[in-house]
Amino acid sequence: MERKAGILLHISSLPSDFGIGDLGPNAYAFVDLMASSGQGLWQVLPLNPTHQAHGNSPYYSISLFAGNPILISPEMLYRDGLIDRATLEALKIERSERVPYEEVYKRKEYMLEVAFKNFKEDQDFYSFCEENAYWLEDFSLFSCIHKRLQRPWWQWEELPKVEERELLKEKFVQYIFFKQWRALKNYANSKGIRIIGDLPIYPARHSADVWANQDIFRLDVSAGVPPDYFSKTGQLWGNPVYNWERLKERGFNWWLLRIRHSLKLFDLVRFDHFRGFSAFYQVPYGEKTAERGWWEKAPGYELFERIREEFPSMPFIAEDLGTIDQEVINLRDHFGLPGMKVLAFAFFDENSTHLPHNHTYNSVVYTTTHDNMPIRDWFFKELNPWQRAKVLDYLGYAPSKVQEALLRLAYMSVAKYCIVPMQDLLGLGEESRMNTPGKAEGNWRWRLKDMPQGEVWEFVASLCDIYGRF
């Protein structure tokens, strides 16, 4: 029976000397530390391009296929002779626990311009362009026009002439990103670590995906979720929803292309907002909140039958959180997909499936997620005295470090996978929160200033040993 443990840490949150975590030496060092402590899984957030205009969210991207240029490693470019020592030194930014996005975008753009000038096209590059033409051509043209016009595609009236060299640069950037990512993934796999990637359900409205495939999207509505625990007015994401009938007519080929692409990048794929494959929530385009929306059925069974035909091993995880009904559960279980159990959701309903004694083997247990308060301040700041008492009653004692006790509870779960956010592993608080749903600014910025050493890895190694997760 498989039992594995792992860590949730996005690439951007790794320490580095360049303002943001990247695909360079510290990513490899992190893999080594994980391997030495018995970890078998590394979960990351979406790798797609981010933009300041969209709050730097990896879930609201101009492409669901492209990689994020700001995650490209300057040190790897220097190693490959694409930038010189002086350029490398000029890219450095004083280390901090927050990503200075404005400065990072500026310096990484300069870095990639220098690297492109020094780049000599070769067969590997030509092969990459050919193999990825189904998305790369549209994305490269979209990016060039976007940079020229600086407004959304539905306001593009007369398209500017785009030079071949501009297109070539966009393709070069993507080539470098995927070359660096492929090398890192291969290294992780060689150390016995599988990578879990996140598959956002929707692209941004202003994206190459929507621009090039307008007929498979509904542009008169926006996606979101109704009022809930996270937001009294709901969450209005702004993404268009799918024209599922059109997709069904075409055998869901666009989705199959997307999943095939993702499985080249990751060993396991988490379907973000899985409930949207059962029924999706939509709001008339132009609304300011998500309150005036409605649910509509999605052809989840037809879609996943096609997915199973193409990918019979079904290496997927269902993010079955939020407004979940029996139909969502039935869809998940019909295809044997592991769901998520989150300890931060567990203790205040005796029937909660998140309570450890209700866990099932075919699931993934988390202490918290990237959308939640880290477990330390969840306990001390979010919970009231009655709620804290309920948690302690469940534990059966009052530990000196609650987060360590909850980590232990996650590791001992019968769930086959246990994933702990790095913030919870380190016992960090509110200052390290990755995302607050419904909050437009200030998210996605937390990062490690330095690589954790010593005790933290010894602790998780001991948990792996005790609870059979090596």
Mind telling me the catalytic residues? 272, 319, 371
The radius of gyration of the chain from alpha carbons, rounded to an integer in Å, stands at: 22
Residue found under tokens 């909850």 = 406
Contacts (Cβ under 8 Å, ≥6 apart) of 40: 4, 5, 6, 192, 193, 194, 469, 470
Check the CA dihedral 135-137-142-147 and report its sign: positive
In the three-class reduction of DSSP (H, G, I as helix; E, B as strand; rest coil), residue 15 is classed as coil
- Would you give the DSSP letter of residue 240? P
Question: For residues 178 and 390, what is the distance between their CA atoms, to the nearest angstrom?
Answer: 47
Strand partners of residue 347: none
How many Cβ atoms from other residues are within 10 Å of residue 294's Cβ? Answer: 12
Token duo for residue 134: 């189904």
Question: For residues 339 and 360, what is the distance between their CA atoms, to the nearest angstrom?
Answer: 9
Give the containing element (helix H, strand E) for 164: helix 164-190
Angle at the Cα of 265 from the Cα atoms of 261 and 267, rounded to 5 degrees = 110
End-to-end CA distance of the chain: 12
Check the CA dihedral 442-270-298-228 and report its sign: negative
Question: For residues 177 and 115, what is the distance between their CA atoms, to the nearest angstrom?
Answer: 12
Question: For residues 207 and 66, what is the distance between their CA atoms, to the nearest angstrom?
Answer: 11
**Polymer length of the chain:** 470
How many Cβ atoms from other residues are within 10 Å of residue 267's Cβ? Answer: 16
Token duo for residue 249: 């007519």
Half-sphere exposure of 44 (CA within 13 A, CB side): 28
In the three-class reduction of DSSP (H, G, I as helix; E, B as strand; rest coil), residue 364 is classed as strand
Question: For residues 42 and 29, what is the distance between their CA atoms, to the nearest angstrom?
Answer: 13
> Exposed (0-12), middle (13-18) or buried (19+): which is 341, by Cβ within 10 Å?
buried
